[in-house]
Amino acid sequence: MCLIEQWWTSEDLHMMRRMTTQFAAGAPSDDDEEDQLQIRARPFYTVVMIVISAVMNLAVVSCAGNYYISVDDDVFVVIKIFATLLALATPFLLLWRAKHPYLITAIACGLTALFQLDSLLVAFCVAGVVARRGNLRKNAPWIALSLFSAFTAVLSDMLLPPKYSLWMLFFSNSQASETLHPAGGGITVFAWFLCFLTAVIETSLGVGAGLMMRNSAMSRRSLAQARSERQRADDIQTSLSNKQIADSIAAEAHDTLAHSLSLIAVNATTLGADVEKLKQAPDDSQLQTTIQRKSDDLRGQAAGALDEAHSIIDMLRHPDEAARLLVPGEETALTQEALDALFADVRESGTELRLWVDIRGLSALNPAIGKVAFRAVQEGLTNARRHAPGVPVSLSISVVPTKGITLNMTNPIGNPDRNSMGNSAEAAIQNQIPSINPTESTTAQQRDPHSGGNGLPGLVQRVEECKGTCVYGADQRGIFHLEVCLPFVPIS
């Protein structure tokens, strides 16, 4: 006993259980899993096959049973009685053909050959094997076994006397019956060939039906996979569209609100300085008028910023309409009127603006490119007012169809006073604005993502999406540079 326990290790027992499980599942080996195809058997077709197989089994068994009764062979009569029970029971094996096609086929072939049942059940079983297991090399032995079982079933019936043979009923003519089954006994060579041909036809029909079911199932699976991939692609496209809309809304909010709020901040600062002056000279009527005008401007700018905030909120509430609301309009287009209004706001905030403008063919410029160029000008001026208030800003705009769109903006960083400019520039370079080397470009990949706010990095992204370039930074003299180059895209 100890020797047996030493011989049968746990690994051996595990292997035996694994082989038993494989045989019960009807799977010859593990590498057959990739060839398996799950086909759900429809109840109606299963019932029809069970009924047809049962009827044919009973017909074949009853004919043979009558012969053995006529010759008083009690042993075979008992066998045929048991075969009658099997004739009714074996068709129900088809209920398990989906889970165990190999095992069910083996049982059906064995019972058909041993008890001389009808071969139609075998054809149904081999159809299930071919449909659910696509490896032809592994299916070949099962097809050969089905062919042999069908041949023995037809042959055993053909060997009976003509009046007890189900197949001989199809050849009831005396001349045809004599050709297949002469009076001397036995069957002719032609009858043997006919038995083999019948078995081949039945097996071929089973294999063909299995291939048809397998191809149909694979087509349905391919269509389902294609629909799944299409749905996945649509979901990804929807996510990308939503991401693009969200990025556009964020950029629009930054461009509009940052510009308006920076104007409000600058005007509030100058208004506070004027109020301090008014305290020292309360009778200065001109200063009072200036304060009144600036307060009115400040109130109007605040109202405009509120309207812009409402517009952004509406886009967030109705993302489906955001794409329509983000279409370039007259206020954001690179036109003379929009630029004049932008420059007027900048000058009213107290910023000294030096302009060099060379604009040609604006009427033929694509509005989408024009909006990006306008936002670049707006972001550059907003950035200058925010980080270096009170310093002069130099801006050159060149729009030439043959050369493209070029924007150059420069301004000193911090206090324009020479003694304090160095400290302001150094602090700005270290804390807020990236440095620029005249020999190297500061692109989106080279700049430090933590070096500033979202305005200029977002501008770089939008410019690069339009196949343009955006470079910004401060040089060693404390001068901040912003250069944007965009292609001239005409209206399509």
Tell me, yes or no, whether 438 lies in a domain: yes
- Does any domain span residue 316? no
Cα–Cα distance, 257 to 466 (Å, whole number): 23
Question: 162 and 33, same structural domain?
Answer: yes
- Which residue has better confidence, 349 or 406? 406
pLDDT for position 15: 46
Each residue's pLDDT tens digit, 59-100: 888 888 888 888 888 888 888 888 889 889 999 999 988 888
Tell me the pLDDT band of 144, cut-offs 50, 70 and 90. very high
Q: How far apart are CA 116 and CA 56, in angstroms?
A: 11
Place 252 in a pLDDT band, splitting at 50, 70 and 90: low
Q: Is residue 268 part of a domain?
A: no
Kindly report, residue by residue over 102-143, the tens digit of the pLDDT: 899 999 999 988 888 888 899 999 998 888 887 778 889 999
Q: Which pLDDT belongs to residue 191? A: 81
Averaged pLDDT, 437-446: 39
Q: What is the pLDDT of residues 5-52, one digit of tens each?
A: 333 444 444 544 554 454 444 444 434 454 677 777 788 888 999 999
Among 166, 198, 233, which residue terminates a domain?
233
pTM of the model: 0.46
Check pLDDT > 90 for residue 409. Answer: yes
Measured distance CA(274)–CA(280) in Å, rounded: 10
Domain-embedded: residue 65? yes
Identity (one letter) of the amino acid at 1? Answer: M
Among candidate residues 173, 200, 233, the one where a domain is terminated: 233
Cα 282 to Cα 288: distance, rounded to the nearest angstrom: 8
Count of domains observed in the chain: 2
Give the span between the Cα atoms of 480 and 437, in whole angstroms. 12
Are 357 and 484 within one domain? yes
In 3D, which of 211, 191, 72, 204 has the Cα closest to residue 136?
211
Regarding whether 191 and 335 lie in a shared domain, the answer is no
Asked whether residue 73 falls in the same domain as residue 185, the answer is: yes
- Average pLDDT value over all residues in the chain: 75
Domain boundary among 233, 253, 282: 233
Please state the rounded mean pLDDT for residues 164-175.
70
More confident residue, 320 or 406: 406
In a domain, 396, yes or no: yes
pLDDT in tens, 274-323: 777 777 777 777 777 777 777 777 776 677 676 667 666 666 666 655 55
Task: Show the DSSP H helices in 388-440 as ranges.
Answer: 418-431
Closest CA to 404 of 485, 490, 491: 485
Which range of residues forms the domain containing residue 487? 331-492
- The reply to whether 228 and 348 lie within a common domain is no
CATH of the domain at 481: 3.30.565.10
Tell me whether strands 479-486 and 469-474 are parallel, antiparallel or unpaired.
antiparallel
**Residue 476 gets which letter from DSSP?**
T
